[in-house]
Amino acid sequence: MKNLKYVMLFFLSLTLMVSCDEEDYEFGDITTPTNLQVSAEIVGMDATNPYGDGTGVVNFTATADNAITFKYSNDGSEKLAPFGTTSISFSTQGIHTYTVTVIAIGTAGNSTSKTIDVEVFADYAPPADLTEMLYGDGSKTWRVKAETAGHLGVGPADEITPVWWAAPPFDKVGLGVYDDRIVFNSDGTVNYITNDTAFGQSGPMDQDFGTPWTANPGGEYESYPLANFDDTYTLTAPGGQETLNFADKGYLGFYVGGDHSYQILERSATEMMLKIIGTDTNAWFVILTSEEEAGDDYSLVWADEFDTNGAPDPANWTYDLGTGTSGWGNQELQNYTDNAENVIIEDGFLKITAKATGNGGYTSARIKSEGLQEFTYGKVEIRAKLPASEGTWPALWMLGANNATVGWPACGEMDIMEQVGWDKSRTLGTFHWFDNGTNANASYGESLDVADTATEFHVYSIEWNEASIKISVDDVSVVTLTNNPDFPFNADFFFIMNVAMGGTLGGDIDPAFTEDTMEVDYIRVYQ
């Protein structure tokens, strides 16, 4: 399954085209870089401070003819610098001389190197509250704060907020971001627990980790294979800006390369917002937290397991009947009934069946829990198998309990699952409401590819509270809406299950259609 997002990040890739019929391949001249020049700027160096301002930061610049990238090596650590520039932080207290080797790399790996010595003064001692936040008495485990809006983002290099794009909560589920853990140790080491997957830009990931990137058929980005690894870090404060510097990779949930130095823009006892300038020269932002996500402390408060054969339980379900007004507002073609041929519980499953009448018409069923089972907030799971026929429009959804008095869309609508009639490999998750600010109807939704909806059962769920509402399929996020007090999604809602025919999302119906069924194994509500 792959998320189809309305907002996507695009990265350049270079494709090498060769003929399958040629036995000899030409890759251009193999050259060795020449005229390697290296300069070093010790931060804060002046007549009064000949060895720098005490931060221990040195900015290096390297140039060479015929070089395609550069590598800096110091005391066993290496750092790639595609454009020749990088910063290295030296943290040993006092004035010390450090030897840095710069390697200019050309085609076919040919290289030229030069060694430079820098004499640097370091006297920065991180404040106690910073070290307490980072590693406490020994070590601390951090993660990307996926549940917070803006936990990942991007903007211009001189910005301190992600003005171009900020990730909604759980925006990158399944892409190797949220299962990562970063352990900062008091001895200056850091452990990256990747769970064998990572997410990042193709160029830096390929260059720094050797993990070739391939876009999947849906256009999204695959997770990269990346084993757990270790690194070292230092804390500095050039110009008074607290900064985390990594000796090697500096991977914090999303990799963009750069000089592996993260400015600490904001911090509290358990959270910090970081900024790094990536290889693409943009500012990338990440929010980390040392608190684990709240556990699944929900308790089951209501369920219908559909275990009793016959009509749906009247304590839980009633019916919408007939053709509605203008085809239920969507030009639908079915007539809803409460007949057993259209809705029945058999062998542990609720079965809603749409049928052709033989005279150009269709019957189906639409059951609802209005006035019977209504809830505010919680987690809802519905396990279902969907119809396969072209023109069917199955839906598992919720309406505000005040629908009868305020009408739609003022009551609010949350579509846990809808499926169009012409694409049975995709499900939709959508929210509808009336926006008082624009005095107009408002909608927000996304879709998810699920290839076997008609042959396999899947769990369609919604997790809903005053802060956010997330719709998922088999725990893979479809869409998340940030909730707020002005939305109608802070009061009781009831459930609706139906199979429509035709209409705005059903589309053209297969002329050979006779009947098809949506089966529901259970619906469960947790709070």
Nearest-angstrom CA–CA distance, 244 and 242? 7
Look-up of token digits 């018409």: 361
Count of positions (residues) in the chain? 527
Nearest-angstrom CA–CA distance, 350 and 335? 19
Look-up of token digits 């749906």: 312
User: Residue 177: what are its φ and ψ, rounded to 5°?
Assistant: -100, -50
Q: Exposed (0-12), middle (13-18) or buried (19+): which is 44, by Cβ within 10 Å?
A: middle
Nearest-angstrom CA–CA distance, 518 and 500? 11
Closest CA to 410 of 440, 447, 438: 440
Residues known to be catalytic: 413, 418
Nearest-angstrom CA–CA distance, 431 and 449? 18
Nearest-angstrom CA–CA distance, 276 and 185? 21
As given in the structure block, the two tokens for residue 60 are 């290096």
Nearest-angstrom CA–CA distance, 350 and 304? 10
What is residue 205's three-state secondary structure?
helix
From the centroid of its chain, how far is CA 524?
Answer: 26
